[in-house]
């Protein structure tokens, strides 16, 4: 009992410490952050964070920057850029693109929300309308290009981070348009072929599209200033040694943006580009994210000791295996490998079969749900073939469903309450990089209910096989956690190491045509690590796979829906 309360308290302590650190970093130097909603095109609501440095007042307007994230991200992913821009005296509007975060769907509509966001930024009396910059990562680059095309006189400079002009996504670039452009395209960017039509990111200088933008017929040189800032025709190319998503956590990529706006905008607070503190905010929200998982475990354990849930407590379940013999290694290896081997085809087929609709309005969520259900069925078939723990044994038993569901809801409710408090008190969510837990708005909650069934079905099938079929008699807690981690996420971890090992050694992914799905797969490693921890923890205390299946189904559905783009407007 005391141990459970300590775990519960540790979760809260990590959340508090991480949230406070993140808040202190993002408000360093008396920066204020406002959580905004404003009206965009066709009456659709757009969401953003507004970072206000102390030098920005109606009497002394400051330069402004519109900062925009990429596809299936949100405004929080731009925090590294936003924090450093604000520390240099710029008012920053960090936008949720249309259909992302808390901005109304559909995604891709009305210039991704960019033109309306630029006009909103210009409407603020604390912003110097003659000194406005635009910065966008990936699809966020197309968002700011849409803003520049719609309002060509309303900005002074832009930074395209891992993004491109033309290609049917924006007006083609010329030596005169857009104004004063810095292209920051990383050496190991996964989208070199689709963005700039070159084989590798390190060869972006050879892109005919980029050369047309720079007004040259020869390879564009990195670091060289082309054109003239005063005339609005300046161009520069930078190529930091990171990946496409790595731009968000790269001191070099952020530093290039800081340098460019320092050269092209007037009125900021001079600081060296190397003077960056944003990474401590990432450490803070990562600490809070770890605390969130610890809190879920502690909450489950504390609640399990309460009288209403006493019937769910059980002695350790009967193990599915007597030892880690050849059968165990074969089944564990198949459990780890099959979800990886089926990932790309099932993601592709899920997109083709399900599309998007009012019921299932998120394209990536549909693909992942299809992958999950299909793999759950495959793993169930394997469990039956290998004769997992027999029906009726403790390892396969079903506790009372209503009590289990109430326990899971209460546990998740405590976790959600911790995020509500972190958002209210510190204006943060629980995340590292682009892996984060966000609060749900009402529409996202409704969408989550549609995805709850397929994700819970996947975990019910997969975790029954995991605990009833792969648990080993006499294992210590450490060996149980390690074995389950291997079975659930070991295959993805190994494959990602191979993928990015190939990218860093050769400049190419093993699957160059699957760049987007590869980046989506990156999230599976931390997410399935959390699933393994939660499912093993709950199984050890109840002797059943069901609580872990329900808990992970609910938490993962929340995570996926809150972090994805919504392509179909839901009213």
pLDDT at 475: 83
- Between CA 459 and CA 465 the distance in angstroms is 10
Contact 526, 516 (CB under 8 A): no
Tokens standing for 460? 């019910």
Tell me the average pLDDT across 538-557. 94
Residue 483 has pLDDT above 80, yes or no: yes
**pLDDT of 393 above 60:** no
Q: What integer pLDDT is reported at residue 315 of this predicted model?
A: 58
User: Quick one: DSSP state of residue 434?
Assistant: T
By DSSP bridging, strand 430-432 and strand 435-437 are antiparallel
Could you give all domains of the chain from N- to C-terminal order, each with its CATH number?
Answer: 29-276 (3.40.50.1820), 281-310+319-563 (no CATH)
Q: In whole angstroms, give the CA distance from residue 91 to residue 84.
A: 11
> SS in 3 state form for 444-480?
HHHHHHHHHHHHHHHHHHHHHHHHHHHCECCCCHHHH
- At residue 124, the pLDDT reads 98
Of 147 and 324, the structure prediction assigns the larger pLDDT to 147
- Would you place residue 380 in the very low, low, confident or very high pLDDT band (cuts 50, 70, 90)? confident
- Whether 135 shows a pLDDT value over 90: the answer reads yes
Q: Please, which pLDDT band fits residue 261 given cuts at 50, 70 and 90?
A: very high
pLDDT of 175 higher than 90: yes
**How many other CB atoms are there within 10 angstroms of residue 243's CB atom?**
24
Provide the mean pLDDT of the chain. Answer: 93
How sure is the predictor about 508, in pLDDT bands with cuts at 50, 70 and 90? very high
The reported pLDDT for the residue numbered 515 is: 96
Q: Which of 369, 551, 384 lies closest to 458 in space, CA to CA?
A: 369
Res 313: pLDDT: 81
The b-or-e profile of 498-515 (16+ CB within 10 A means b, else e) is ebbeebeeebbbeebebb
Q: Between 399 and 315, where is the model more confident? A: 399
- Centre a 10 Å sphere on the Cβ of residue 462 and count the other Cβ atoms it contains: 29
Q: What Å distances lie between residue 346 and 87, 353, 377, CA to CA?
A: 45, 10, 13
Token pair listed for 409:
């809801």
Q: Which residue has the tokens 């190491």?
A: 497
Is pLDDT of 238 > 60?
A: yes
pLDDT number for residue 568: 83
Residue 1 has what pLDDT? Answer: 62
Q: pLDDT band for 415, please (50, 70, 90 cuts).
A: very high
Q: What is the pLDDT of residue 350?
A: 95
Per-residue pLDDT band at 394 (split at 50, 70, 90) = very low
pLDDT for residue 395:
47
Cβ-count burial of 43 within 10 angstroms (0-12 exposed, 13-18 middle, 19+ buried)?
exposed
Residue 206 pLDDT greater than 70, yes or no = yes
Mean pLDDT for 505-525 is: 96
Q: What is the pLDDT of residue 164?
A: 97
Q: What is the distance between the terminal CA atoms of the chain, rounded to a whole angstrom?
A: 46
pLDDT at 399: 80
Token look-up 């460019």 returns 260
Tell whether the model's pLDDT for residue 570 goes beyond 70. no
Does 327 score more than 70 pLDDT? Answer: yes
Q: Minimum mean pLDDT among 63-72, 294-303, 457-466: which range? A: 457-466
**What tens digit of pLDDT does each residue of 272-298 get?**
999 999 999 999 999 999 999 999 999
Average pLDDT over residues 252-259: 98
At 385 the pLDDT is 47
d(CA 386, CA 534): 25
Mean pLDDT over 310-328 rounds to: 76
What counts of helices (H) and strands (E) characterise the chain?
18, 10
Name the band, by pLDDT with cuts 50, 70 and 90, for residue 311: confident
Q: Tell me if residue 343 falls in helix, strand or coil.
A: helix
């Amino acid at each position: 009992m005391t141990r459970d309360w300590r775990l519960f308290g540790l979760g809260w302590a990590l959340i508090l410490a991480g949230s406070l650190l993140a808040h202190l970093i993002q408000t360093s130097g008396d920066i204020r952050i406002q959580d905004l909603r404003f009206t965009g095109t066709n009456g659709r609501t757009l969401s953003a964070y507004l970072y206000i440095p102390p030098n920005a007042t109606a009497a002394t307007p400051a330069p402004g920057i519109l900062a925009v994230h990429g596809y299936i991200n949100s405004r929080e992913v731009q925090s590294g850029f936003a924090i450093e821009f604000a520390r240099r005296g710029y008012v920053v509007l960090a936008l949720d693109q249309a259909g992302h975060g808390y901005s109304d769907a559909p995604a891709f509509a009305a210039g991704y929300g960019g033109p309306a966001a630029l006009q909103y930024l210009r409407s603020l009396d604390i912003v110097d309308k003659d000194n406005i910059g635009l910065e966008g990562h990936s699809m966020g680059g197309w968002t700011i290009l849409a803003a520049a095309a719609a309002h060509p006189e309303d900005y002074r400079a832009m930074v395209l981070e891992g993004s491109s002009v033309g290609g049917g996504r924006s007006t083609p670039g010329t030596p005169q348009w857009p104004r004063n452009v810095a292209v920051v395209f990383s050496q190991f960017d996964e989208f070199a072929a689709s963005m700039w039509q070159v084989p590798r990111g390190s060869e972006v200088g050879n892109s005919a599209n980029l050369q047309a933008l720079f007004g040259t017929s020869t390879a564009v040189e990195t670091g060289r200033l082309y054109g003239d800032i005063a005339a609005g025709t300046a161009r520069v190319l930078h190529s930091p040694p990171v990946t496409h998503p790595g731009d968000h956590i790269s001191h070099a990529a952020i530093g290039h943006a800081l340098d460019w706006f320092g050269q092209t905008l007037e009125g900021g607070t001079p600081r060296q580009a190397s003077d960056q503190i944003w990474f401590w905010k990432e450490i803070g929200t990562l600490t809070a994210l770890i605390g969130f998982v610890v809190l879920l475990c502690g909450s489950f354990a504390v609640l399990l000791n309460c009288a209403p849930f006493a019937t769910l407590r059980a002695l350790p379940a009967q193990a599915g295996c007597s030892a880690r013999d050849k059968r165990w290694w074969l089944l564990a290896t198949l459990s780890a490998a099959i979800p990886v081997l089926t990932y790309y085809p099932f993601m592709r087929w899920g997109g083709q079969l399900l599309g998007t609709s009012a019921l299932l309005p998120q394209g990536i969520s549909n693909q992942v749900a299809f992958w999950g259900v299909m793999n759950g069925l495959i793993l169930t078939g394997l469990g039956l073939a290998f004769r997992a723990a027999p029906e009726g044994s403790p390892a396969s038993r079903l506790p009372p469903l209503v009590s289990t569901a109430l326990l899971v809801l209460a546990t998740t409710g405590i976790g959600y309450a911790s995020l509500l408090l972190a958002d209210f008190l510190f204006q943060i969510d629980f995340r590292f990089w682009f892996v984060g837990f966000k609060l749900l708005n009402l529409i996202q909650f409704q969408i989550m209910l549609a995805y709850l069934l397929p994700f819970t079905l996947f975990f019910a099938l997969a975790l029954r096989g995991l605990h009833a079929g792969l648990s080993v008699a006499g294992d210590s807690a450490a060996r149980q956690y390690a074995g389950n981690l291997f079975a659930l996420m070991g295959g993805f971890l190994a494959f990602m190491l191979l993928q990015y090992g190939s990218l860093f050694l050769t400049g190419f992914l093993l699957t160059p045509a699957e760049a987007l799905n590869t980046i989506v797969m990156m999230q599976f490693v931390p997410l399935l690590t959390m699933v393994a921890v939660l499912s093993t923890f709950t199984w050890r205390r109840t002797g059943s796979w069901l609580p872990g299946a329900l808990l992970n189904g609910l938490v993962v559905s929340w995570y996926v829906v809150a972090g994805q783009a919504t392509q179909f407007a839901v009213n």
